[in-house]
């Protein structure tokens, strides 16, 4: 041991190459784990997009009983998905903004489809099927475009 009082004598030992490799490996594993845990958001948006497509078709083409059942189904989905989302521990960068933009666009399109369709095209598949696709598009597109995971490439 060097007792000369130099800074070199008290400096910590430099990490070895093996230590550095181990640390890099652990960082890569942590990043992969984070990305995997963040995939719930895609499933969340896909579920709402698909259910939205079904909902709009049922509202436009179904009778009164089908419309009630479709809205009850939508309510159940919202409750289940809200509970599931609240238990997720990973929130990817930009997820909140993407969710806000996707649901805002969905709401405008959904409202337009209902107003136009129920007043001028009740029961017309030529209107309701394409309208359902257009209404669901913001949620489905938001689900398909990957969100960045910081620190992972």
Q: Would you kindly state where each structural domain of the chain is located, as residue ranges?
A: 41-144
CA 57 to chain centre: 23
pLDDT for residue 25 is more than 60: yes
pLDDT in tens, 36-89: 556 788 999 999 999 999 999 999 999 899 999 999 999 999 999 999 989 987
CA-CA-CA-CA torsion sign (71, 75, 77, 82): positive
pLDDT score recorded for residue 34? 55
CA-CA-CA-CA torsion sign (139, 67, 74, 54): negative
Q: What angle do CA 142, 144, 147 make, to 5 degrees?
A: 70
- For residue 95, what is the DSSP state? H
pLDDT for residue 33 is more than 60: no
pLDDT mean over 114-128 = 96
Q: Is the pTM of this model over 0.75?
A: no
13 or 97: which carries more pLDDT confidence? Answer: 97
pLDDT for residue 151 is more than 50: no
Instruction: Compute the distance between CA of residue 55 and CA of residue 60 in angstroms, rounded to an integer.
Output: 9
pLDDT mean over 84-111 = 91
pLDDT score recorded for residue 133? 98
């Amino acid at each position: 041991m060097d007792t000369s009082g130099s800074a070199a004598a008290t400096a910590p030992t430099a990490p070895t190459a093996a230590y550095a490799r181990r640390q890099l490996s652990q960082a890569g594993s942590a990043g992969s784990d984070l990305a995997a845990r963040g995939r719930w958001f895609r499933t969340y948006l896909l579920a709402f997009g698909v259910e939205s497509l079904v909902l709009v078709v049922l509202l436009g083409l179904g009778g009164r009983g089908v419309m009630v059942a479709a809205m009850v189904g939508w309510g159940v989905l919202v409750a289940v998905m809200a509970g599931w989302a609240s238990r997720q521990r990973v929130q990817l960068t930009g997820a909140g903004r993407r969710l806000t933009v996707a649901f805002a666009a969905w709401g405008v399109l959904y409202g337009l489809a209902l107003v136009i369709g129920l007043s001028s095209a009740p029961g017309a598949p030529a209107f309701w099927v394409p309208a359902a696709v257009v209404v669901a598009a913001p949620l489905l597109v938001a689900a398909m475009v990957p969100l960045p995971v910081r620190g992972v490439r």
